[in-house]
Amino acid sequence: MTAQEQIRGARDLVRTAADHWNGASLSAIASSLSVLESSVASLAEASSILDRSTGMAGNEMRTALLALKADATRLQRLVDASAAFLRGLPGAQSADVELYQPGGSTRILVTGPGAWGLQG
């Protein structure tokens, strides 16, 4: 495969992960992670091909990489929106919870029904 084909394949995988994203399902999240890991492997192979090559169609490669970036940004927004939604959901009366924040997770202690917005 050419580097351009590897990049297109990586983009297809990112789009697949986004199309099947379900932030409320751990199995769907794990599946998306697996697909994204395959996308990373495709990009690594494209990088390796580029390192070995003497010349590439620069404009076509730039177009393919920009399309991949746009799809990855879409998936990032989808994941961040899911995380923001889940941060606002009541789940328990008290818990030591690890919540996702853009840029990483944060561990907090939530106590009492009032902390979750629940009454009685």
Instruction: Read off the pLDDT of residues 79-93 as tens digits, 9 standing for 90 and up.
Output: 888 877 776 655 544
CA distances from 22 to 9, 26, 32, 40 (A): 22, 8, 9, 21
Same-domain check for residues 41 and 62: yes
Same-domain check for residues 40 and 76: yes
Same-domain check for residues 83 and 94: no
Structural domain count, the chain: 2
Average pLDDT over the chain reads 75
Same-domain check for residues 56 and 70: yes
Same-domain check for residues 77 and 114: no
Same-domain check for residues 78 and 101: no
Same-domain check for residues 81 and 94: no
| In contact, 72 and 14? CB cutoff 8 Å | yes
What is the DSSP secondary structure assignment for residue 24, as one 8-state letter? T
Taking the C-alpha atoms of residue 47 and residue 29, their distance in angstroms, rounded to an integer, is 27
Same-domain check for residues 80 and 99: no
Q: What is the mean pLDDT of residues 11-16?
A: 93
Q: Which domain holds residue 23?
A: 3-89
Same-domain check for residues 84 and 96: no
In the chain, pLDDT over 70 holds for what percent of residues? 66
**Sequence-separated (6 or more) residues with CB below 8 Å from residue 34:** none
DSSP β-bridge partners for residue 95: 110
Same-domain check for residues 56 and 99: no
Q: What is the mean pLDDT of residues 9-35?
A: 89
- Which of the two residues, 15 and 86, has the higher pLDDT score? 15
Same-domain check for residues 76 and 97: no
Q: E strands within 1-120?
A: 95-101, 104-110
pLDDT tens digits, residue range 40-82?
999 888 888 877 766 656 677 778 888 888 888 888 888 888 8
Q: How confident is the model at residue 117 (pLDDT cuts 50, 70, 90)?
A: very low
Same-domain check for residues 13 and 27: yes
How much is the pTM? 0.60
